Amino acid sequence: MHNKIFHYLISIVTLLFLSSSVCAQVWVMTEADNSTTYIGENWLKSIEYDEEGVSSSIYNLSKDIMILIDENQEIYAKGSSIDLCNAMKSFRDDMNKNMPASQQKMMQDMIKAEKAKPALEITVSKSNGEKIAGYQTTKYSIFINGGLYEEMWITNDSELSNIIKGYKKVLKEGLKIAECSVPDEAFLRSSPEFSNEYKEVEMAGVTLKSVNYDDYGSNRQIEVVSLTKEDISTSEFQAPEGYKLLSFKEYFMATSGM
């Protein structure tokens, strides 16, 4: 989940639950960079902060309605998971068509190279983890071809049993949508995040911390600093008033600078 593209894709898969009440009781998970996730038994909303600004994503699993929001441009897109998947495929195909011939050849060469690679050898070890945001974790170490790829600290505390169910649903849906973005199935085969071993680790509970190690010896860390139950206004789970509604494809074009 933690290469840049996958993590982004995984971050846009969120769940919206609208009720007639003014407030909804949710778990609020805050990361060190102030990114915030609202988690319920059947829903989740994510607010991401990066160098380009603030973006949010909401997903209603029971109604299969997804909302992507760009705060900086005051735009949003809304539709089903199938709508999102089709838009991603169309956006990807259009980009490929508009590539210069040299870049198209480069892409085909990359696909051939991915297909020629041997299957990944993935192993997992686990041990007692540290206490994070007040919850005891189990530490999972994922090795790819003998090298450390990622460490994840996951909790399955009984107090969080309801949100763990929703969390797992979101992860499963995220994998389906992520597959829509790749140019060829060969990239799925060579991506650890799509392996059964990796999926089993993610499904073990809620990830409170992860450290991803890339091929260049650096690492990228995500850590939850607080996880609390709060009453949140249901307006948090709707697109802001006054924002412009776009199709998913139009949204991708606008947020990618095209």
Convert the pLDDT of each residue in 121-180 to its tens digit: 999 999 999 999 999 999 999 999 999 999 999 999 988 887 787 778 778 877 888 777
CA 94 to chain centre: 23
Per-residue pLDDT tens for 24-50?
678 899 998 889 998 876 677 899 887
Cα dist. 114→7, 167, 190 in Å? 20, 31, 7
Fill in the amino acid letter for 17.
F
User: Is 109 a residue whose pLDDT tops 60?
Assistant: yes
pTM of the model: 0.78
Per-residue pLDDT tens for 55-99?
899 888 778 889 999 999 999 999 998 999 899 888 877 777 777
Fill in the amino acid letter for 30.
T
CA 73 to chain centre: 22
Per-residue pLDDT tens for 206-254?
999 999 987 655 567 889 999 998 888 878 888 889 999 999 999 998 9
Name residue, tokens 């389906």. Answer: 176
